[in-house]
Chain A
Amino acid sequence: MATHADTLHDQHYHPPGLQHQFEDMGQQQESASIGMWMFLVQEIMFFGGLFTVYLVFRSKYPMAFAAGSNHLDAFWGGLNTLVLIVSSLTMALAVRSAQLGKRNAQVIFIVVTMIFGTVFLGVKAIEYTAKYKEGIVPVAGLNMKTAKTASTYPNARELSTRTGDTQDPRESLNTGVSEADTHETGEHSYYNPTGTFVWTDASLATQAEQGGYLTESEKIGYYSNGELNVNKFRDKVRIFFWIYFVMTGLHALHMIIGLGVMAWLLWKAWMGTYSAQYYSPVEMSGLYWHFVDIVWIFLFPLLYLLGRHFLHGGGH
């Protein structure tokens, strides 16, 4: 091995793409591969922390999570799942083309993958915008449209009339409970320290209460003075939406980084850098892309598909 490397040095010959610290392409390829897998391992641990938080709160407040999840649009989520799965296929084909040394096919597949990635982010943007308009982005000051109505929450209707907003933001949200119901539950007794999250629908909690399957931790979480409190329920839904935004937001950030990697890859592929002998950057970027897809495969059911049966009138 040593003599082999020495011969290479003597002739001043390096295979294209071989870095100085490696003896040969095989070693470099193996290093890149293990390195990428180690990177993905740390990514898993990173998202793992979030999944733990999700797990803790979902087991603590199942009804609030179901309510929040019912409010997400499973159509967009499902479409994005499909988009990402297909993009994984085109990515795999890009890697395959690189391995076969087919420059044009490689460029085309990378472009197609990037288009799918962009579509995903576009759909995400549509969803985020919708949430923003409804006032369920739980960041103080980020709900520009609804911040005023939310801060003077009990008088939301008058205020929205004054600002020329004909639709009460609460009406679009109510899926199961009329406005009268929420007033009955006595919402004003509980002070919401963070203000700006608009949510009045506690129908699922009521349903669970009547059905007798509200858990002990939920009773502690939703009740005030021995009865169901809409605002306390709202805060738990708010936690769901926070987890939704943090998880999908970090995932989207990974998608954006992925698109950046793809753009770089596209440039390199266009220049004809990759061949049957040297294609590991394509393969490693592919691994990253698949990883980001897989994270979404977990996010979609965990965030979008909770308690769908409640939407169709199902019970416990």
Chain B
Amino acid sequence: MQNAEAINVGNIKEEPKVSYLTNGFTIKSWLLTKDHKRIAILYLITVSAFFALGGTYASLIRLELLTPQSDLLQSATYNKTFTQHGIIMVFFFLIPSIPAILGNFLIPIMIGAKDLAFPKINLLSWYFYMAGGGLTLFALLQGGVDTGWTFYTPYSTTFSNSYVMAVGLGIFINGFSSILTGLNFIVTVHTMRAPGMTWFRLPLFVWAHYATSLVMILGTPVIAITILLLALERLAKIGIFDPAIGGDPILFQHLFWFYSHPAVYIMILPGMGVISELISNFSRKKIFGYEFIAFSSIAIAVFGFLVWGHHMFVSGQSIYAGLVFSFLTMVVAIPSAIKVFNWAATLYKGQISYDTPMLYALFFIGLFLIGGLTGLFLGSMGLTVHLTDTYFIVAHFHYVMVGGQVLAYLGGLHYWWSKITGKMYSEFWSKIAAIIIFVGFNLTFFPQFILGYLGMPRRYASYPPEFQVLNIFSTAGASILAIGLIIPLIYLTYSIFFGAKAPANPWLLPGLEWRTSSPPPTENFEETPIVTWEAYEFGEESGLDLEDARNKYKVTV
């Protein structure tokens, strides 16, 4: 059925002499590397640093909201705190998290390529990220910015006396990083697939990244030009966004959300890709409705461009525009629901094992469900008037962004950790951490749904005393969440130095990334693999010599 070579690809008998980690030890070999795996590591380190910084701002916000008065932070400082939390988390953590780290590392391996199509551009994208991030950090040290991450005009152009220009420029430059990453992924998936790796044999992780990349390429340039106009407006008072001289502040919101709503899908689609991998592989069952999940990613990317107006229901846009946007918002729920139903159907009668990545995947489904369904509340024009700018919105998008993307990111990081580092993390501590994160997350954000429904507005340093009990719950939850996020930092770092050596395929899975050594050699595969199996094929059809692998690694299935 298969040729001998193809079967051989799956069963790594011995470690290669040089892996990508041991191929050069100098600083230069890292900073000027063109290896997608090393660039992924560079991203991993820097993105984690930004995550920690954004998390610190979040802690400040929650500590301030422990009491009704604005006592820990003054209002002006509080404004800067939530702005910087938003900017760092959105532009420097969520958007690059899964694509630039896991996507960068895995896409070439998953399709059987030696590298991305444009390795130099890939490195350049990291430098853009660093330049943008550095400029933003500089602005934060200078005194920060207080406009909210949305930079709404005319406050940002005319009134705000903070470092809008520097932060704007930082985001502008960082945008090129995500454009270049998206461009690289699209070209790579088109041209670099190994022989036999047809489009419908691609792992769904790759499909999700393809859809994400489309959004990156089509959306990011629009935010670039918008920020440029914003800067010009501040610099020279063009008048384009200033109503005093004939400009249109709502135009800014249209341009901003034309990118930033699709950007929300940049922040969730890769997570969905990770979850598809986890659900199928830890159920040891071919994924249910492969084509539906693949095309639902594309559908989300396409519809995502048509719903930006639902951020502007109360901004004074025409009610007919609102009606259309509301309808299209409901339409996006369909492909999202298709994914959830297919995941559930995949679990049905699967051989489910509750390894740490799978815990994250199951948590994801539950939290994404809550986050997604509350999104429908906000997409309906009547209810949204009541809920706009309350904590209900804050809770909604944190359920999707944190409960969705961050959990998927952590799940993916654990799942591929052995592949990335060649070491095994502690199963015990990772499970403890996953549960702590889940509990802490829900305790943080679920009370915010209630707070928002009761009418507590977002973006204020103080609130009426009757909201205090729920806010204390939320702050307590945030503390638990913070502990939950620090534990992985410790045991993952520990595992790099002291962890057990990882086998090439610790879970006996069929994907191409498990058919090369851990960590992979610089060229990814000893020889170009020939794919003869369908995606998520377990058993004999996968071409893996399961009996041999079981004996070798003593893994029970």
Q: Tell whether B222 is near chain A: CB-to-CB under 8 Å.
A: yes
Task: Bits for B238-253, please: 1 = Cβ < 8 Å to A, else 0.
Answer: 1110001111100100
Measured CB to CB, the nearest residue on chain A to B118 is A35
Closest-CB distance, B63 to chain A (whole angstroms): 39
Interface residues on B, range: 35 or more
What's the tally of chain A residues with a CB closer than 8 Å to chain B?
Answer: 46
- Chain A residue with minimal CB distance to B184? A35
A226 to chain B, nearest CB (A): 18
Question: Is A271 in contact with chain B by the CB < 8 A criterion?
Answer: no
B191 CB–A CB distance under 8 Å: yes
Q: List residues of A (232-263) whose CB comes within 8 Å of B's CBs.
A: 232, 235-236, 238-239, 242-243, 246
Are A53 and B251 in touch, CB under 8 angstroms? yes
Q: How far is the CB of A299 from chain B (nearest CB, A)?
A: 15
Tell whether A242 pairs with B238 under 8 Å between CB atoms, given A2-B5, A2-B527: yes
In the assembled complex, B55 has its CB within 8 A of some CB on chain A: no
A6, A48, A246: the one within 8 Å of B232 (CB): A246
CA distance A38 to B217 in the complex (A): 7
Residues from 105 to 126 in A contacting B, C-beta threshold 8 Å: none
Closest to A35 in B: B187
List CB contacts (< 8 Å) of A1-53 with chain B.
Answer: 1-2, 5-6, 19-23, 27, 30-31, 34-35, 38-39, 41-43, 45-50, 52-53
> Could you tell me the distance in whole angstroms from the C-beta of B257 to the nearest C-beta in chain A?
12
The yes or no answer to B114 lying at the interface (CB within 8 A) is yes
Cα A139 to Cα B235 in complex, Å, equals 8
Q: Which residues of A contact B118 (CB under 8 A)?
A: 31, 35
Interface status of A221 (Cβ within 8 A of chain B): yes
Cβ B237 vs Cβ A239 within 8 A = no
Q: For chain A residues 212-236, which have a beta carbon within 8 Å of chain B? A: 221, 232, 235-236
Closest to B258 in A: A49
A140 at the interface (CB under 8 A from B): yes
Chain A contact residues, majority secondary structure: helix
- Residue numbers in B under 8 Å from A232 (CB-CB): 246
Task: Name the contact of A2 in the complex, choosing from B179, B183, B251, B528 (C-beta under 8 A).
Answer: B528
Question: Is residue A61 within 8 Å, beta carbon to beta carbon, of the partner chain?
Answer: yes
Question: In the bound complex, do residue B220 and residue A235 qualify as a contact, i.e. CB atoms below 8 Å apart?
Answer: no
A19: chain B residues at CB < 8 Å are: 119
**Residues of B contacting A6 with CB < 8 Å?**
527-528
What are 28 residue pairs bridging A and B, where the CB atoms are less than 8 Å apart in the complex? Answer: A2-B195, A5-B528, A20-B115, A21-B115, A21-B116, A31-B117, A31-B187, A31-B191, A31-B192, A34-B187, A38-B217, A41-B218, A42-B220, A45-B218, A46-B222, A46-B224, A49-B224, A49-B226, A49-B255, A52-B254, A56-B248, A56-B251, A57-B240, A138-B236, A138-B238, A238-B239, A242-B239, A246-B229
Residues on B lying within 8 angstroms of A by beta carbon are 5, 113-119, 179, 182-184, 186-188, 190-192, 195, 217-222, 224-226, 228-229, 232, 235-240, 244-248, 251, 254-255, 258, 527-530
- A residues at B contact (CB < 8 Å): 1-2, 5-6, 19-23, 27, 30-31, 34-35, 38-39, 41-43, 45-50, 52-53, 56-57, 60-61, 138-140, 192-194, 221, 232, 235-236, 238-239, 242-243, 246
